[in-house]
Amino acid sequence: MTPRRKTRQVTAGTVKIGGGAPVALQSMTSGYTHEIDACIAEVRRLASAGADLVRVAVPEKRDTEALPEILAASPVPIIADVHFHYERAMEAIRAGVAKIRLNPGNIQDRKQVMRVIAACKERNIPIRVGVNEGGIVERRNKQQRAAEQHSLADDYSAGLVRLMLAKLDEYLRMFDEADFHDVVLAAKSIDPRIVIDAYTAISARYDYPLHLGVTHAGPPETGRIRSIAALGTLLAGGIGDTIRISYAADPVREVEDGKELLCCLGLRPRTEPELIACPSCGRIEVDLFKLVADVRHKLASEITLPIKVAVMGCVVNGPGECEGADVAIFAGRGKGIIYVQGEKKRTVSEDAMLDALLAECRALAERVARGEATLKNATDAPPAGAPSPGSRPSGRRLPLARG
């Protein structure tokens, strides 16, 4: 893991972004914001799943009119997603949202943008400036559109990254003029390779915090691979201050996978059980896949501590692979041997393995709660290489790269 890059810090409600703060996890509601009760219910589901921030769409005035009631009921800060109409941004700001998202491809009028900046500056509300592959090429000016399309013809990927940088730089000049630097940047594409190249270039060019994402990633079955390929690479390289994994599905699944990614990379403390298990193998001598599914379901519903549980299906690698687990079982020929923090506890028949394993998990959880035991991987330390919370860069943009 590369140490986190140092950025300035912005504050969205109660959440710090950049400047040494933990990587924040966000998602977006899928329903209409003006349907207030349904929107609040969805925000609460996302927060319960682990989202630190939730974004809501505000395409119409009735959506911004719903914001005060939604904000009052939300357990996490709310971001207003603004497209096309700067008036929606002004209304959302007056409603008290924690952050605004603007798209340079849709809101370009200088006076309108400067009004939004001034309003956010007055209320200490950060702005996320996000460019997307689908909206980066000029649409109104035909001559400019033709020139930009021509610039992408020879090498689309490299040309798109250059265009993203150019559009961000042009847009951010207005922020510089207003002396407003509570900014988060994003540059999304459907192609994880472009995402990696774009954010790598942006991180070298600016000291603003970055929001990572892959746009139009698709359903979870394929979208998670597309998203993790890009976001995992960037986060492991020290780039990224807030993330969203985007699916064409229930957004709770975005939060679950985003949380797991951050936990796997040591960028977020695990707060719930972690299950590891054997892959498919010709040595398995029990119904391992059913056991794993049953254990996963029971752990999620019964255990609220980050116990590491290992379920191994044979005696070849099982003992060694179980050593790092808090509770483990390795099975063979209709029976399983249970270990608790490296100590052999008992041997049980296959039909008793689930109940016996869960009993040991509950017992260990109770001992931890009483202060009689600690979990093997429990830690409150910040991720290795993360800047200390007190460190803060100057807040100025890095010198622009030329050429």
Query: Could you tell me if 127 and 38 lie in one domain?
Result: yes
CATH (domain of 116): 3.20.20.20
Torsion of CA 182, 382, 77, 123, to 10 degrees: -30
Query: Could you tell me if 149 and 83 lie in one domain?
Result: yes
CA atoms within 13 A on the CB side of 336: 27
CA 377 → CA 202, 271, 272, distances in Å?
35, 11, 12
CA atoms within 13 A on the CB side of 397: 21
Report, as ranges of residue numbers, the positions in the chain whose pLDDT lies below 70.
Answer: 105, 280, 282-283, 285, 315-321, 378-403
Residue 398 lies in a domain: no
Residue 384 lies in a domain: no
User: What pLDDT shows up at residue 120?
Assistant: 97
User: What pLDDT shows up at residue 376?
Assistant: 82
Question: Token pair 């056991």 is at which residue?
Answer: 291
Counting beta carbons within 10 angstroms of the beta carbon of residue 27, is it exposed (0 to 12), middle (13 to 18) or buried (19 or more)? Answer: buried
Structure tokens at 292: 């794993």
**pLDDT one-digit tens code per residue, 24-58:** 999 999 999 999 999 999 999 999 999 999 999 99
Q: Which of 230, 264, 298 is the last residue of a domain?
A: 264
Query: Could you tell me if 332 and 206 lie in one domain?
Result: no
**pLDDT one-digit tens code per residue, 81-111:** 997 788 999 999 999 999 999 887 677 788 9
Query: Could you tell me if 181 and 246 lie in one domain?
Result: yes
Residue 380 lies in a domain: no
Query: Could you tell me if 236 and 286 lie in one domain?
Result: no
Query: Could you tell me if 320 and 225 lie in one domain?
Result: no
What single string gives the DSSP state of each residue in 323-363?
A: TT-SEEEEEETTEEEEEETTEEEEEEEGGGHHHHHHHHHHH
CATH (domain of 319): 3.30.413.10
Rounded to a whole number of angstroms, the CA Rg of the chain reads 24
Query: Could you tell me if 227 and 143 lie in one domain?
Result: yes
Question: Token pair 């985003």 is at which residue?
Answer: 258
Residue 395 lies in a domain: no
Q: Which of 264, 295, 325 is the last residue of a domain?
A: 264
Residue spans of alpha helices (H) in 96-191: 110-123, 142-151, 156-177
Residue 391 lies in a domain: no
What residue type is assigned to position 380 of the chain? D
Global pTM? 0.87
* Count: domains in the chain: 2
Residue 99 lies in a domain: yes
**Owning domain of residue 41:** 9-264
Residue 400 lies in a domain: no
Q: Which of 230, 245, 264 is the last residue of a domain?
A: 264
Query: Could you tell me if 29 and 119 lie in one domain?
Result: yes
* 279 neighbors 318 (Cβ within 8 angstroms): no
Residue 298 lies in a domain: yes
List CB contacts of 1: < 8 A, sequence separation 6 or more. 236, 238, 265, 266, 383, 384, 385
Question: Token pair 């925000």 is at which residue?
Answer: 43
Structure tokens at 106: 């849709």
